[in-house]
Amino acid sequence: MSADQLEPSEKRVAVGRRVFLGMAGLGALGIAFGARAQNAVSNVLGSGLGGLLPGGDNFRIYSITGTYPVIPRDEYRLTVSGLVTRPATFTIDDLEAMPSTSMVREFQCVTGWVVPNVHWEGVKLSQILDTVGVKPGAVALTFESYDGADSESLTLDQARLPDVIVAYRMLGAPVTTQHGGPVRLYVAPMFGYKSLKWLSAIRVVDRVQPGFWEQNGYPVNGWVDGSIGPTDPSLTR
Ligand SMILES: Nc1nc2c(c(=O)[nH]1)N[C@H]1C(S)=C(S)[C@@H](COP(=O)(O)O)O[C@H]1N2
Ligand SMILES: [Mo]
């Protein structure tokens, strides 16, 4: 199933910043999966229900809510606020006008599935941070999704790694709705759960605020090449 084949459902859901967006259903499995946030993680970890739909590219399409926000390209906004000197709102045109970075990496979910040679393109998060200016006292970033459910965190040092990007292209095309388009986070050195989809906002904050997956047991620091055991939030690489 491609994104264009999906009918926007009649359900309208309020998400961050009071934008009302159509939500597209993922079907029965997706609804079951999204029924309870708590179940999401145990399903992912346990039964293999985490794979909602094959993406046609060996990805499994994940959504905590069982639906996903459909955000027209020209309505997309990324707000950056918190401990910054110049709070800003970026459109996709704004992001595309910034220097771009691309890379080809293996994508790995903690549940075990791996997609080799995935092409990504976007803007380095460090570039966005330099644009808004990080204030003294800033320690971490909090990320919010248009789905109103997922959230993520990175330390400032992690966020400044050269392979952490705000991605607008993936698999050689604009990021699809299913994969978190028009814009998602891509944290190359960490497991897939760190790469928050439908990125709506970034807040620069004074301490790490563990995100959705971390509140449900995933390590705050999801390094692919390291331990995923108990971690120290101040750990950087
Ligand atoms: N908003 C949102 N982002 C998300 C998730 C999610 O459920 N909702 N799942 C995460 C997990 S666990 C993985 S492995 C990847 C999967 O990316 P994909 O759905 O494009 O395959 O998205 C991550 N980002
Ligand atoms: Mo994942």
CATH topology of domain 69-235: Sulfite Oxidase; Chain A, domain 2 (3.90.420)
Q: Is 6 exposed, middle or buried (0-12, 13-18, 19+ CB in 10 A)?
A: middle
With the most atoms of ligand 1 within 8 angstroms of its CB, the residue from 175, 177, 195, 199 to mutate is 195
Q: Is the dihedral of CA 197, 198, 203, 204 positive or negative?
A: positive
With the most atoms of ligand 1 within 8 angstroms of its CB, the residue from 21, 62, 63 to mutate is 62
Average pLDDT over residues 175-202: 97
pLDDT beyond 60 at 39: no
Ligand 1 within 6 A of CB of 212: no
Q: Which atom of ligand 1 is nearest to the CA of 149?
A: 1
Report which of 211, 209, 41 is spatially closest to residue 109, judged by C-alpha positions.
Answer: 41
Range with the lowest mean pLDDT among 56-60, 105-109, 196-200?
56-60
pLDDT band, very low/low/confident/very high, at 58 (cuts 50, 70, 90): confident
- Rounded-to-integer distance, Cα 162 and Cα 123, Å: 10
- Rounded-to-integer distance, Cα 105 and Cα 118, Å: 5
User: What is the CA(180)–ligand 1 centre distance, in A?
Assistant: 8
Ligand 1 within 6 A of CB of 180: yes
- Rounded-to-integer distance, Cα 72 and Cα 60, Å: 23
* Chain-centroid distance, C-alpha 40: 16
203-234 burial: b if 16+ Cβ within 10 Å, else e:
bbbeebbbbbbbebebbbbbbbeeeeeebebe
Ligand 1 within 6 A of CB of 196: yes
Q: For the chain, what percent of residues have pLDDT higher than 70? A: 71
List, in sequence order, every residue forming a beta bridge with 164; answer none if it has no partner.
187
Coil, helix or strand at residue 93: helix
- Please tell me the predicted confidence (pLDDT) of residue 45: 40
List, in sequence order, every residue forming a beta bridge with 60; answer none if it has no partner.
54
Ligand 1 within 6 A of CB of 184: no
- Measured at the CA of 181, the angle between CA 8 and CA 142, to 5 degrees, comes to 115
Closest CA to ligand 1's atom 12: 193
Contact 202, 141 (CB under 8 A): yes
Ligand 1 within 6 A of CB of 179: yes
pLDDT band, very low/low/confident/very high, at 84 (cuts 50, 70, 90): very high
pLDDT beyond 60 at 4: no
pLDDT band, very low/low/confident/very high, at 103 (cuts 50, 70, 90): very high
Q: Which atom of ligand 1 is nearest to the CA of 147?
A: 1
- Please tell me the predicted confidence (pLDDT) of residue 105: 96
- Please tell me the predicted confidence (pLDDT) of residue 12: 31
Ligand 1 within 6 A of CB of 147: yes
- Measured at the CA of 219, the angle between CA 126 and CA 174, to 5 degrees, comes to 45
Domain ranges of the chain: 69-235
Radius of gyration over alpha carbons of the chain, in Å?
A: 17
Average pLDDT over residues 59-69: 93
- Please tell me the predicted confidence (pLDDT) of residue 9: 33
Condensed to tens digits (0 to 9), the pLDDT of residues 128-171 reads 999 999 999 999 999 999 999 999 999 999 999 999 999 999 99
pLDDT band, very low/low/confident/very high, at 54 (cuts 50, 70, 90): low
Ligand 1 within 6 A of CB of 132: no
